[in-house]
Amino acid sequence: MSEWITLEQIDHTCDVIASKIHTKPRIGLILGSGLGDLADLVENADVIPYNELPNWPLPTIQGHKGRLVVGGLDNQSVLVMQGRTHYYEGPTMGQVTFPIRVMQRLGIEILIVTNAAGAIHPEYVPGDVMLLTDHINLVGMTGLNPLRGPNLDVFGERFPDMSQPYDRELQQKCRDVAKSADMTLREGVYAWLSGPSFESPADLRFLRAGGADAVGMSTVPEVIVARHGKTRVLGLSGISNKANLDGSTVTTHAEVLEAGKILVPKLTTLIRGVLRSL
Ligand code: HPA
């Protein structure tokens, strides 16, 4: 695949998906590292392994099953990505965000995106869920914006607004669900770094000074492409570890996957509550 994704490639993949599913999905869900179990709740599911989909980026890391699950959840028709591909795994930015384009051409209106993240905010601890209120596109600021290259006019304009990456109404619905479930819901700004190395203590102090509350290696490119196409977004981070601003502890992928076990039930409650409210 060349660096730039074409509408023909997107529509070809849409056709393949359309031929394998029985519902027209309205909501897209991306389940991040260690957070894929929610897909098992989808009813009347059509399951499509990513390797059956032309042009689809294939995840290479543990904790990502790599399949699409399409069906019903809480009276909504959903398309769930059980696992995602990150930029650090090697694809181009266009390939990383290709699934969002496919969702948009399939008619999806709302994207719910989850990720595992390290806490920068001093009060946030592993097992917390953080509602994304904004993000810092650090990778984009240095030139790697997923919208770089020819603009696909059918989706959106050359210079899309990014004043509200995360939909305010969806944020409020999520707060309401947390409140009625008596669940603590953190809120804040997610900073995107490419990874795969975790941050140095000085990286983290820099991010903290810049207003980040959590840090991770995904989500922001997908959200930018979603917003380019006017898809409404709800973003949730599962805090898997405390980012270590003084260098006194070590961060591991095993820790990230372990925290997923505590986080899945919380994220499931929040996401299902929001789906019911739509
Ligand atoms: N840093 C970056 N990405 C992450 C982290 C982290 O501490 N935890 C989970 N994903």
- Half-sphere exposure (Cβ direction) of 13: Cα atoms closer than 13 Å: 26
Looking at residue 106, the DSSP 8-state letter turns out to be T
Output the pLDDT for position 269: 95
Q: Which of 62-76, 144-158, 197-211 is least confident?
A: 62-76
Instruction: Please give the pLDDT value at position 1.
Output: 53
Banded model confidence at residue 63, pLDDT cuts 50, 70, 90: low
Query: Which sequence spans correspond to the domains of the chain?
Result: 7-277
Q: Which residues form ligand 1's pocket by a CB distance below 6 Å?
A: 116-118, 198-199, 215-217, 240-241, 243, 251, 256
* Cα(159)–Cα(185) distance, integer angstroms: 33
253 confidence band (pLDDT: 50, 70, 90) = confident
3-state SS, one letter per residue, for 18-56: HCCCCCCCCEEEEECCCCHHHHHHCEEEEEEEHHHCCCC
Q: Are strands 129-136 and 43-49 parallel, antiparallel or unpaired?
A: unpaired
Whole-number pLDDT of residue 257: 79
Q: How far lies 19's CA from each of 16, 71, 266, in Å?
A: 5, 14, 34
What distance in angstroms lies between residue 191's CA and the mean position of ligand 1's atoms?
A: 10
CA of 75 to the centre of ligand 1 (A): 33
Superfamily grouping for domain 7-277: Nucleoside phosphorylase domain (3.40.50.1580)
Q: What is the pTM of this model?
A: 0.95
Query: Which residues lie below 8 Å from residue 86, measured CB to CB, with a gap of 6+?
Result: 59, 61, 96, 195, 196, 217, 218
pLDDT of the residue at 2: 67
**In 3D, which of 96, 149, 117, 124 has the Cα closest to residue 35?**
117
In the reported structure, the alpha carbon of residue 98 is separated from the centroid of ligand 1 by a whole-number distance in angstroms of 23
**What are the tens digits of pLDDT across the range 103-117?**
999 999 999 999 999
pLDDT at 260: 81
